[in-house]
Amino acid sequence: MKHAMYFRFGAAIVLIVVVSVIGVALEKQSLTYRRAISRQRYRMDVLVEQYAQMRLQAQRLGAPARTIKSLEEQRGDMKKPPRSAQAGPTSPLAIPRTSLALPHLKNISAR
């Protein structure tokens, strides 16, 4: 009978050790997964930041091209009329040159 009691006691101890070892293994695996998830989140944050910076850089680099293109389009819309049509009575070209002098320059030329 004493042997059966020792056997039960030994079996209980072994069961407790096995359960605790399994628990430690599960905790270790859980910690490994958490680290991996944390690393992936960090990488995702870095990639999102890089994407935003690259997108901003692309917008900055593309801005001059868009500006030039829009200016060229506006220039095409505002084509100048022929030179003879520009010199009408209301055109600045019809005003005599002497009256076009700037007021602050008149004093300089009089000296």
Per-residue pLDDT tens over the stretch 6-53? 899 999 999 999 999 999 999 999 999 999 999 999 999 999 999 999
Q: What is the pTM of this model?
A: 0.46
- What pLDDT, in 10s, does the model give residues 52-88? 999 988 888 877 766 777 777 777 655 555 555 444 5
> Residue 18: in which H helix or E strand, if any?
helix 2-77
Cβ proximity of 77 and 83 under 8 Å: no
pLDDT beyond 50 at 96: yes
Cβ proximity of 87 and 94 under 8 Å: yes
- What pLDDT, in 10s, does the model give residues 3-17? 788 899 999 999 999
Distance between CA atoms of residues 28 and 55, nearest Å: 40
